[in-house]
A and B are shown apart, each in its own frame.
Chain A
């Protein structure tokens, strides 16, 4: 089926540094998402993005977080500065649209972020 690619699969950084997580969504998809999963817990919605703008964000999407997709390239999640509690697996997802089968989310394999 359609593939969402996430780069890198694992990233280790020092607290306070900036990190950018990259996502290559399914080519014809229009809606993009980030979810956060702390080890052993459920995935939690961070943000979704459409037509160059953030549509919705959760309380977990702190001021230090930002997303963009410049010129149809990677959909990125930037955290600046990072904090220890940002350690988690971040999943990117994309969907064709909203409603019916178009809203089926396709997920990447995640980027495991470790903040030291």
Chain B
């Protein structure tokens, strides 16, 4: 069965620094898709970035990038030049190719960016 684990429950960083959030996953499927979402204080959930398991190159979107380490079943999210408005809860999620459209989420990491 699929499982997604985020061990860091909260992180606090200074503005304009780089932060990495960890995520490890378990799957029996050879093909799967990994996602990061952000939940703001208002409750809004926003898609940030994805990585397909067959792609070797790490995905990058704006100031978000991924550190995909397939042998370790790890998909870290890196945020560079953090801003106050990056403060949110970040969720890692996985979809197995054989599991239809279902996403399995991790427990989330609360990021606080301090001025």
Interface residues of A (CB under 8 A from B): 1, 31, 33, 35, 41-45, 48, 55-56, 58, 89, 91, 93, 95, 98, 103-107, 109-110
Chain B residue nearest in CB terms to A110: B43
Q: Which of A89, A91, A93, A104 contacts B50 (CB 8 A)?
A: A104
Total chain B interface residues with beta-carbon distance under 8 A: 21
Cα–Cα distance between A107 and B91 once the two chains are bound (Å): 13
Pairwise interchain contact B101-A56, C-beta atoms closer than 8 A = yes
Q: Which of B33, B91, B103, B106 contacts A45 (CB 8 A)?
A: B103
Interface residues of B (CB under 8 A from A): 4, 33, 37, 42-47, 50, 91, 95, 100-108
Q: Which of B43, B47, B95, B106 contacts A106 (CB 8 A)?
A: B47
Taking CB atoms, residues of chain B closer than 8 Å to A98 are 100-101
Pairwise interchain contact A103-B95, C-beta atoms closer than 8 A = yes
A43 CB to nearest chain B CB (Å): 5
Chain B residue nearest in CB terms to A45: B102
Pairwise interchain contact B45-A107, C-beta atoms closer than 8 A = yes
Chain B residue nearest in CB terms to A9: B43
A30 CB to nearest chain B CB (Å): 11
Q: Give the 4 A-B CB pairs with smallest separation, nearest first.
A: A107-B45, A42-B107, A42-B105, A43-B105
Cα–Cα distance between A109 and B46 once the two chains are bound (Å): 10
Pairwise interchain contact A55-B105, C-beta atoms closer than 8 A = no
B108 CB to nearest chain A CB (Å): 6
